Structure 1
Amino acid sequence: MYLTKEVKEEIFAKHGEAKNTGKSEAQIALFTFRINHLTEHLKKNRHDYNTERSLVKLVGKRRSLLDYLKNSEINRYREIIKVLGIRK
């Protein structure tokens, strides 16, 4: 499995707090990791429509979290965009 407990803990420790997994930055970083993995999978398996649908849903969730962060605290938004290399 690509997303083990250790990988999740590493992401949460790097982009948030180890115990606070609900922090917006941590959730955005986790979604970005999953989106990158699914994108690579779809490059190899272009007819996997279920994965494509879940990828679109994940991108929407991440976008709504980014919009929330942008409207509430613009500095945190700019920082997470820069760190993760997300466009826009």
Structure 2
Amino acid sequence: MMITKEKTASIVAEFGKEFGASEKDSGCAAVQVAILTERINNLKEHFGSHKHDYSSNRGLLKMIGRRRRLLKYVSTENEDNYKSLIKKLGLRK
């Protein structure tokens, strides 16, 4: 359910090169959105078999809200980065 350090490091390296200053820039908003998207997708799989896990559902909703706010920030800073991030992550179909 949790993403491993190696998976997080690979996400940071992949998105850091494209959107951030370096491969280790985990504070970049685009990198944070990518990490949150991975965590949200893992929780979606969890809810397939645990439909009544309401405390995890609350955490999921908080993560979705945080990702929404970060995406709003990215869209106000650079529209081109926002569009490429959305396309790469498969959001907003």
- Tell me the TM-score normalized by structure 2: 0.89
Aligned equivalent of 1:22: 27
d(CA) in 1 for partners of 2:6, 2:87: 24
Distance 1:14 1:33 in 2: 13
Moved >4 Å (runs of 4+): none
Query: Is 2:79 the counterpart of 1:74?
Result: yes
Using the alignment, how far apart are the partners of 2:24 and 2:90 within structure 1? 25
Q: Please, which runs of 5 or more residues in structure 1 have no aligned partner? A: none
Higher relative contact order (CA 8 A, sep 6+): 2
Aligned pairs, number: 88
Aligned to 1:85: 90
RMSD: 1.2
What residue in structure 2 maps to residue 56 of structure 1?
61
Percent identity of equivalent pairs: 42
For residues 65 and 80 of structure 2, the distance between their equivalents in structure 1, rounded to whole angstroms, comes to: 22
Residue among 24, 43, 51 paired with 1:46: 51
After TM superposition, the score normalised by the length of structure 1 is 0.94
Structure 2, unpaired ranges of 5+: 17-21
Q: Any idea what SS the aligned residue of 2:24 has?
A: coil
